[in-house]
Structure 1
Amino acid sequence: MTTAVSVFEQGGVIAYPTEAVFGLGCDPDNQAAVEKILKIKNRPVEKGLILLAGDYQQLKPYVDESKLPADVKQQMLSRWPNGVTQVVPASSKAKPFLTGQFSTIAIRVTTQADVVALCQQTGKPIVSTSANYSGEEPGKSWQTVEQDLGSAVDFIIKGDTLGFTKPSTIIDALTGETFRS
Structure 2
Amino acid sequence: MAQYFVIHAENPQSRLIQQAVQLLQQGGVIACPTDSSYALACLMDHKDAQTRIRRIRQVDDEHPFTLVCRDLAEIGTYAKVNNAQFRLLKAYTPGPYTFLLEASREVPRRLHHPKRSTIGLRVPRHIVTQALLEALGAPLLTMTLQLPGDDVPLSVGWEIRETLEHHLDAVIDSDIVHVGATTVIDLTQEPPELVRSGVSPWP
TM above 0.5: yes
Match of 2:89 among 59, 63, 76: 76
Written as runs of structure 1 = structure 2, the 5 A alignment for 1:151-162 is 151-162=166-177
For 1:172, the aligned partner's letter is: D
Deviation at 1:100, TM superposition (A): 4.0
Written as runs of structure 1 = structure 2, the 5 A alignment for 1:6-85 is 6-63=22-79, 65=80, 68-85=81-98
Distance 1:174 1:132 in 2: 27
For 1:98, the aligned partner's letter is: L
RMSD between aligned residues: 1.8
Residues 109-160 of structure 1: CA deviation (Å, up to 9, x unaligned): 0121111011101111111212233343421111121122111010111111
Written as runs of structure 1 = structure 2, the 5 A alignment for 1:155-170 is 155-162=170-177, 164-170=178-184
1:123 aligns with 2:137: yes
Equivalent in the alignment of 2:162: 147
Can you give the 5+ residue segments of structure 1 that lack an aligned partner in the other structure? none
Contact 1:47/1:99 (8 A) holds in 2: no
Distance 2:84 2:144 in 1: 31
Contact 2:54/2:60 (8 A) holds in 1: yes
Contact 1:17/1:141 (8 A) holds in 2: no
Residues 21-50 of structure 1: CA deviation (Å, up to 9, x unaligned): 110000012222112211221111212211
Any idea what SS the aligned residue of 1:3 has? Answer: helix
Return the structure number with greater helix share: 1
Any idea what SS the aligned residue of 2:45 has? Answer: coil
Match of 1:98 among 103, 111, 114: 111
TM-score by length of 1: 0.89
CA 139–165 in structure 1, closer or farther in 2 if over 3 Å, else same = closer
Equivalent in the alignment of 2:102: 89
**Percent identity over paired residues:** 26
Can you give the 5+ residue segments of structure 2 that lack an aligned partner in the other structure? 1-15, 198-203
Distance 1:55 1:172 in 2: 19
Distance 2:142 2:96 in 1: 13
Q: Which moved more, 1:125-134 or 1:86-95?
A: 125-134
Contact 1:132/1:148 (8 A) holds in 2: no
* Number of residue-to-residue matches in the alignment: 177
Q: Which has the larger radius of gyration?
A: 2
